[in-house]
Amino acid sequence: MQRKTVLVTGVGSTTGISVIKGLRGQDEFRVRIVGTDTHGGNRIAGSSFCDAFYTVSPAGDPGYLAELLRICEREGVDLLVPIVDPELPVIAEHAALFADIGTEAVVAKSETVRTCNDKLATCRRLAEGGVPVPESRAADEVAAPGELSYPVFVKPRGGVSSRDAFRVDTQEEFARARGRVSDLVVQELLAGEEYTTDVFCGPDGRVIAVVPRRRVQTRAGISYKGVTCHDERLIRWGVRICEVLDLRGPANIQCMVDGDDVRYFEVNPRFSGSLPLTIAAGVNTPLQMLKLWDGQSAPDDLLPFEEVFMTRYWAEIFHPVEEPVPVS
């Protein structure tokens, strides 16, 4: 059996652990997993599922890139799978440095990552490619709050999760939001239900998996109940978005569906936190990554999947307390 050493970043996160579940849940490769996180290994759960673990600086730290390169070299990492949003542009931009030491970074091209990290640029690029998006503009380009027809939705152009993203009902609220948060995008407010589509593209851009799911219930931004759906529209749009953005490797795509009206508003060029549902539906994208980045040929058609309902619960990892815990 072939051996692969895979470095997964952010193993303290649900997404990091989800990727590990995919890598462990296959028997075509013997995988050694190196994990990183900004937290200590005895303060997160995910380190327990790794064969080696390193605490690293945050991606914004000047030393981050050198640290990660050193770990990849020391551990003989074949594939580097970045999980944490601020890491993506750094790793995408410097993919050649990793290639030089024999590590392939499984991430979209630098330009694509930059587009995806900017929610206004994402919508503009998708619209150019014929993908339906909410009407969107930079809040700073709104000359007078009276121009907008309320309610609208505002969010930071570069925001992660749903921080500072909210509905705005009046001109006064809009003016206040714009004064408080810089670089806001203002969009028409979308109705309907939220869907996420997990997609996966080979190193040549070939789209091999498009699995839409309805987010039934979320907690702290993570789907904890969800169901995969054979929605042909969302599958077709998923393929189209991969092409328009020229994606490589994993991505997850968010849209709102309101009857016949489908609108895409966000693309994260990384694996998703609800990846275990896609895997349970029959599409182990981390395994596909191992195969395609190993040079195996892509399947002719999109990988088939089942409709499956996922529900989640907390599991625990316990760490001994090395020294008495200081009492506050």
What does the binding site for a copy of itself look like in residue numbers (CB under 8 A)?
A: 14, 17, 42-46, 192-193, 214, 219-220, 222, 224-225, 227-231, 257-259, 276-277, 280, 306-321, 324-325, 327-328
Q: In terms of CB distance, is 188 or 231 closer to a copy of itself?
A: 231
- Secondary structure letter of residue 128 according to DSSP: H
The string of DSSP codes covering 108-151 is --HHHHHHHTSHHHHHHHHHHTT-----EEEGGG-S-GGGS-SS
Q: In terms of CB distance, is 89 or 286 closer to a copy of itself?
A: 286
Q: In terms of CB distance, is 109 or 225 closer to a copy of itself?
A: 225
- Least CB distance to a copy of itself at residue 294 (A): 27
Q: In terms of CB distance, is 25 or 58 closer to a copy of itself?
A: 25
DSSP 3-state of 178: helix
The string of DSSP codes covering 185-213 is EEEEPP-SEEEEEEEEE-TT--EEEEEEE
What is the rounded (10 degree) CA torsion for 94, 7, 9, 122? 50
Interacting residues of 261 by C-beta distance below 8 A, sequence separation 6+: 132, 192
- Least CB distance to a copy of itself at residue 320 (A): 7
Tokens of 294: 């190993």
Q: In terms of CB distance, is 144 or 321 closer to a copy of itself?
A: 321
Contact 45, 21 (CB under 8 A): no
Helical spans, DSSP H, in 37-118: 64-75, 87-93, 95-100, 110-116
- Least CB distance to a copy of itself at residue 44 (A): 6
- Count CA atoms closer than 13 A to 195's CA, side-chain side: 28
Q: In terms of CB distance, is 146 or 192 closer to a copy of itself?
A: 192
- Least CB distance to a copy of itself at residue 286 (A): 15
- Least CB distance to a copy of itself at residue 224 (A): 7
- Least CB distance to a copy of itself at residue 310 (A): 5
Q: In terms of CB distance, is 57 or 218 closer to a copy of itself?
A: 218
DSSP 3-state of 9: coil
Contact 251, 267 (CB under 8 A): yes
- Least CB distance to a copy of itself at residue 64 (A): 23
Contact 173, 216 (CB under 8 A): no
By the 10 Å C-beta count (0-12 exposed, 13-18 middle, 19+ buried), 36 is classed as buried
What is the pairing mode between strands 166-168 and 52-55? unpaired
- Least CB distance to a copy of itself at residue 195 (A): 9
Q: In terms of CB distance, is 37 or 87 closer to a copy of itself?
A: 37
